[in-house]
A and B are shown apart, each in its own frame.
Chain A
Amino acid sequence: MSAVKQHKEPLLRIAKRDGIARSKAYAIRIVAVLLSLVVSGIFIFTVTKLNPLQVYEAMFDGAFGSNRRSWVTIRDAMMLLCIGVGLAPAFKMRFWNVGAEGQVLLGGIVTAGIMLTFGSALPTPALLVVMAAASLLAGCVWGVIPAIFKAVWNTNETLFTLMMNYVAIQLTSYCVALWENPFGSNTVGVINQQTKAGWFPAVFAQAYGLNVILVLALTVGMFLYLKYSKQGYEITVVGDSVNTARYAGINVKKVTIRTMAISGAICGLAGFIAVAGASRTISTSTAGGRGFTAIIVAWLAQFNTFVMILISLLLVFLQKGSIQIASQFNLNDYASSVITGIILFFILGSEFFINYRVIMRSGKEASK
């Protein structure tokens, strides 16, 4: 008889944590961000031979160095936050809405269209209401199409919404070519430059005050909706287990379509804010990849809209800062994407250490 083969306990093994104190979870995340900054620092140093601390200082200057820069940073963070808030209900339901980019663009197209057509016919407040309503509707339609197919025929929503982005981008290019001004420039130019019809009015003497108010209102509203409303509860149940939801008598199809209508509509509204409240023009870069970045914002915040504020600020800070270091140290401003990528990789990886414990092999346990 052969001897029973002795299995050694592996050097490292993992076990799921039962739960973790919130403070400890945040400590892990902060350590991850710090580590990522160190790695980014090494990247900056090897590429440029510049002191990374100096570079980070320049980044801070780029994002918050002057009153105007701070407001641009805030404006862009609000934009990202708005899309993230829009994505939160869909993702909480585990509906992979990768189509925010397209939903934002659709909202932007109708806003720009109304601004151009009715700019002289309606007073600005009425115009703003019409544009907001139209952009909500446009984003909603763009989001509901894949939702209906998912609900009825179980069509893969990740791939469907992804494709819808590119249809929307081409639609935007079409509108840009249609509305171009001056002719031959292939851009729409600033709409209603003279009359400023349909532009967001300054609030508290801040050009972007209304953006902040709108988005923060949405942020609070979405937090309450997800946490305290019956519909929010239904979203949670569907997200955790479709079968449980069905057993509990929740109409999964209805919840799927309704939630995507809300998600798409808020993303459409983000397009309205981007056009009427920031760029006053429309181009394929109106969404500018934010629809994808916002997915990361929503996911990392675990759908807590208040945490999203922090994450969108961090990401926009990185972008603005990198553009600054790019011009100051004669680099290329894609450095920001590299640094953003590194930081996100670390945060994504850190989630593992929040959910699991890594146990080293020790003599004591092995003898058990």
Chain B
Amino acid sequence: MTSTQLIQLIQSAIVFGTVILYGALGEILTEKSGNLNLGVPGIMYLGGIAGLAASFFYEFNNPAPSPVVCLVLSFVAAFLAAALGGLLYSFLTITLRANQNVTGLTLTIFGSGVANFFGGSLNTMAGGVGQISVATSSAIYRANIANVSHLGVFGSLFLSYGFMVYLAIALAIAMRWFLGRTRKGLNLRAVGENPATADAAGINVTRNKYLATCIGAGISGLGGLYYTMDYIKGTWANDGTIEALGWLAVALVIFAVWRSVNAIWGSYLFGLLFWMYLYIPGLTRSSQELFKMLPYLVTIAVLIFISLRKKQENQPPASLGLAYFREER
């Protein structure tokens, strides 16, 4: 492997990793409140299509779109649409006490349906032809954070990405601080570990769960936005990739043992494992497919490992997936 290839591999791993990093960060926040939201793929779909649709309509109606408006519109739309998906999930599971797994899976079906439906027919509906495309918005998402042409290897390895790559890292660190160092974060974790105790201590369980799930969903939705705007360059493809990435994000949450900072390197590692097959000589097409299994196998190994070690700090939130009703203790 030449050094150019190595740099390419690392770059594609980081870009790939960022998509699932957003998904996983949102899900970590959600799961810390005790909600196991299996709707991550659907939520990422919602975020992706909402961001794309918002800048599409803006660019479609404005001959000279302003990049800043594009950015703000798509970003806010993606976050809000995904958070609405989270709100739907919260309403069903927290207020109406529906089963979390089933509701999450339904949200995945619904979100992928909505996104692929509008993604496939948005352009036709607006009277255009062919593929939807948002060149101006995509350009601003893909703009390098610094001019890297004169910075050599360092520049292309660390500074050659759009701003969302760095935002994800910042978000992961901020989340670590929030969950570990602030009262609100500790309260949230208490809700996820033992809602009855948290309730007795005067923490509003319902509000914590709602907020964590909706904001978490919004963050996951940014993964979809990053995917449509940067990864596939402001277009739409009805190929189900977001769904596969969404499940990988759920896997990453486990791999990172519910720690947002671990998710940073975990996501890049998943990206490396995912793209490695392109750089290993002598692989046939069939054995490439076996290689793509690696991220999932590694996740299973981690899952088994943490259940064997039984280390307190590596366990999932104790009430993960369980509903809490004050009167049914």
Q: Which residues in A have some Cβ–Cβ distance to B below 8 Å?
A: 16, 47, 96, 98, 149, 153-156, 158-160, 162-167, 170-171, 173-175, 177-178, 289, 292-293, 295-296, 299-300, 330-332, 334-342, 344-345, 348-349, 351-352, 355-356
Q: Which residues in B have some Cβ–Cβ distance to A below 8 Å?
A: 36, 38, 88, 92, 96-99, 101-103, 105-117, 120-121, 124-125, 238, 244, 247-248, 250-251, 254, 284-290, 292-293, 296-297, 299-300, 303-304, 307-308, 316, 320-321, 327-328
Chain A residues within 8 Å of B292, by CB? 170, 173
Dominant SS at the B interface?
A: helix
Does B101 lie within 8 Å of A338, measured CB to CB?
no
A337 partner, pick from B98, B116, B121, beta carbons under 8 A:
B116
B109 partner, pick from A163, A293, A349, beta carbons under 8 A:
A293
- A50 CB → nearest B CB, Å: 13
Does B303 lie within 8 Å of A156, measured CB to CB?
yes
Chain A residues within 8 Å of B88, by CB? 345
Does A170 lie within 8 Å of B98, measured CB to CB?
no
Chain B residues within 8 Å of A167, by CB? 293, 296-297, 300
Chain B residues within 8 Å of A293, by CB? 109
Chain A residues within 8 Å of B285, by CB? 177
The contact sample of 9 A-B pairs, CB cut-off 8 A, is: A149-B304, A156-B320, A295-B101, A332-B117, A337-B110, A340-B113, A345-B88, A348-B102, A352-B98
Does A292 lie within 8 Å of B304, measured CB to CB?
no
Does B299 lie within 8 Å of A163, measured CB to CB?
yes
B92 partner, pick from A158, A164, A349, beta carbons under 8 A:
A349
- Inter-chain CA distance A174–B303, complex, in Å, is 25
- A115 CB → nearest B CB, Å: 19
Does A174 lie within 8 Å of B287, measured CB to CB?
yes
Considering the complex of A and B, which 4 residue pairs feature the smallest CB-CB distances, nearest first?
A337-B113, A341-B110, A177-B286, A173-B289
Chain B residue nearest in CB terms to A15:
B327
Does A338 lie within 8 Å of B286, measured CB to CB?
no
Chain A residue nearest in CB terms to B106:
A344
Does B290 lie within 8 Å of A174, measured CB to CB?
yes
Does B117 lie within 8 Å of A299, measured CB to CB?
no
Chain B residue nearest in CB terms to A339:
B113
Does B108 lie within 8 Å of A355, measured CB to CB?
no
Question: With A163-B299, A170-B293, A332-B116 given, is the CB distance from A299 to B102 under 8 Å?
Answer: yes
- Inter-chain CA distance A296–B38, complex, in Å, is 13
Chain A residues within 8 Å of B99, by CB? 299, 348
Chain B residues within 8 Å of A154, by CB? 307
A162 partner, pick from B247, B304, B308, B316, beta carbons under 8 A:
B247
A331 partner, pick from B38, B121, B320, beta carbons under 8 A:
B121
- Inter-chain CA distance A132–B128, complex, in Å, is 51
- Inter-chain CA distance A337–B46, complex, in Å, is 13
- Inter-chain CA distance A98–B112, complex, in Å, is 18
Does A171 lie within 8 Å of B101, measured CB to CB?
no
Does A334 lie within 8 Å of B120, measured CB to CB?
yes
Does A338 lie within 8 Å of B113, measured CB to CB?
yes
Chain A residue nearest in CB terms to B243:
A289
| B97, B115, B288: residue with the most chain A Cβ atoms closer than 10 Å | B97
| A16, A331, A349: residue with the most chain B Cβ atoms closer than 10 Å | A349
Does A164 lie within 8 Å of B300, measured CB to CB?
yes
Chain B residues within 8 Å of A345, by CB? 88, 92, 103, 106, 110
Does B286 lie within 8 Å of A348, measured CB to CB?
no
- Inter-chain CA distance A162–B125, complex, in Å, is 37
- Inter-chain CA distance A54–B299, complex, in Å, is 48
- Inter-chain CA distance A356–B327, complex, in Å, is 12
Chain A residues within 8 Å of B111, by CB? 341
Does B112 lie within 8 Å of A349, measured CB to CB?
no
| New contact pairs (12) apart from A159-B251, A160-B300, A167-B297, CB-CB < 8 Å | A98-B101, A156-B316, A162-B250, A166-B247, A166-B248, A170-B289, A292-B105, A331-B117, A332-B238, A337-B112, A338-B110, A345-B88
Chain B residues within 8 Å of A352, by CB? 96-98
- Inter-chain CA distance A300–B98, complex, in Å, is 11
Chain A residues within 8 Å of B113, by CB? 334-341
Does A153 lie within 8 Å of B117, measured CB to CB?
no
- A301 CB → nearest B CB, Å: 12
Chain B residue nearest in CB terms to A166:
B296
Does B105 lie within 8 Å of A295, measured CB to CB?
yes
